[in-house]
């Protein structure tokens, strides 16, 4: 697939560095904020009957009567993120679909400070945990440093 990756402003927290991706073949797009965990995406529906009958085995889009593609859009509120970066630079980013309980926040914070998540070694200077503060309508950093803050420090 061919995609275009860019940045946009997150509609939830206002971070100007939310990750966007547009797939030129499927016309699908998505936005993900690594700061608050907000995500939104649009996907093009596949016509399963036409695709199953296609002699070349292609996946064909579902079309309206006027010939336009049928798409569905989704949006999920962010409740925070956790980025666990290895010492080699590879990272796993988790976004939360509900508020993270204080016990789990403490567990992740301790792992970041110790530089270890289970049997995996992580970089405490490249890892972080955020939660979304609904009352204040802003992101609260619980542990670590956000990438932009690290660059400025």
The whole domain housing 109 covers 81-152
Q: What is the pLDDT of residue 148?
A: 67
Residues 128 and 145 in one domain: yes
Residues 16 and 64 in one domain: yes
Query: What is the DSSP pairing of strand 39-44 with strand 71-76?
Result: antiparallel
Number of domains into which the chain is organized: 2
pLDDT-above-70 percentage for the chain:
95
Residues 110 and 143 in one domain: yes
Residues 62 and 8 in one domain: yes
User: Structure pTM?
Assistant: 0.82
Residue-wise pLDDT tens digits, 20-50:
999 988 889 999 999 999 999 999 999 899 8
Residues 88 and 72 in one domain: no
Residues 68 and 119 in one domain: no
Place of tokens 């309508």: 137
Q: What is the pLDDT of residue 147?
A: 77
Residues 85 and 103 in one domain: yes
For residue 18, report the phi and psi dihedrals to the nearest 5 degrees.
-70, 145
């Amino acid at each position: 697939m061919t995609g275009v990756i860019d940045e946009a402003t997150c509609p939830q927290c206002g971070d100007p560095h939310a990750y966007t991706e547009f797939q030129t073949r499927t016309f699908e797009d998505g936005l993900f904020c690594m700061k608050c965990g907000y995500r939104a995406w649009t996907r093009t529906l596949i016509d399963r009957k036409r695709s199953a009958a296609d002699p070349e085995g292609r996946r064909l889009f579902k079309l309206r009567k006027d010939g336009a593609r049928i798409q569905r859009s989704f949006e999920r509120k962010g409740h925070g993120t956790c980025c666990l970066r290895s010492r080699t630079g590879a990272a796993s980013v988790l976004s939360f679909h509900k508020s993270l309980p204080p016990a789990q926040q403490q567990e992740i914070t301790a792992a970041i400070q110790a530089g270890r998540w289970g049997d995996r070694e992580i970089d405490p200077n490249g890892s972080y945990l955020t939660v979304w503060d609904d009352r204040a309508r802003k992101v609260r950093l619980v542990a670590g440093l956000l990438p932009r803050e690290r660059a400025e420090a």
